[in-house]
Amino acid sequence: MTDEKLLRLSWRLVKLLDKTADETLPKAIADVVKLHSKLAVGSAWIPIPGADVAAGAATIWGMYVRINNKLGLPFGENIIKTIGSGVATNLAGYIAGSAIASGLKFIPVIGSIGGAIVMSASLYGLTLASGYVYLKALCAMAEMDGKNISEDHLKDAVDNVMKNKEEIKGIIKEAKSEYKK
């Protein structure tokens, strides 16, 4: 069901940005989110505590940049970091769970494996939710003022999307469940 949601949001975003001629773009955007979610799982297996969390965050920021590139949106690196930080702040409980799992890696062998297993599902869900939030924010921004898309509008749109905490929790829960399958 998450794949379907990403595809619907991507399609809606492309339509809002007036690029409906490119029918492959919605799938390409959804594929970027799914790819980065899988890459985040790989970062969970970095054996150095803390480096794994940093790699997961970098994966999310990279995802935002790739989505922007697909859409031709010229947002600078600073706004991407601001958005990433804003999403991270709002998803702090899930990030804390990943950080605790990362801390398990201080225990030789068993802690490394156990921490990586726990982190894998968390980072997958967190990255998928971050992509979903970002796509929703881009849609909201395009609906507000599709002609004058700016970094300030994007930050405001992310803040508005993040207000729906129950939806975000549901997405993370659904993504973790999908990952475990």
Three-class secondary structure assignment of the chain: CHHHHHHHHHHHHHHHCCCCCCCCHHHHHHHHHHHHHHHHHHHHCCCCCCHHHHHHHHHHHHHHHHHHHHHCCCCCHHHHHHHHHHHHHHCHHHHHHHHHHHHHHHCCCHHHHHHHHHHHHHHHHHHHHHHHHHHHHHHHHHHHHCCCCCHHHHHHHHHHHHCCHHHHHHHHHHHHHHHHC
Which residue range(s) make up the domain with 135? 2-180
Find how far residue 181's CA is from the centre of its chain: 20
pLDDT of residue 109: 62
Contact 5, 133 (CB under 8 A): no
Provide the pLDDT for residue 92: 56
Find out whether 57 and 91 touch, Cβ atoms under 8 Å: no
pLDDT at 21: 46
Q: Which two tokens stand for residue 179?
A: 């990952």
pTM over 0.85: no
Contact 63, 127 (CB under 8 A): yes
Q: How many domains does the chain have?
A: 1
- Chain centroid to CA 163: 16
**Contact (CB, 8 A) for 9 and 139:** yes
pLDDT per residue as tens, the chain (181 positions)? 567 787 777 777 776 665 544 566 788 888 998 899 889 888 888 888 888 888 888 888 888 889 888 888 766 766 666 666 667 665 655 555 555 556 666 666 666 676 677 777 778 888 888 888 888 877 877 776 655 666 677 777 777 777 877 887 787 777 777 776 6
> Tokens 């706004």 — which residue?
79
What residue type is assigned to position 158 of the chain?
Answer: V
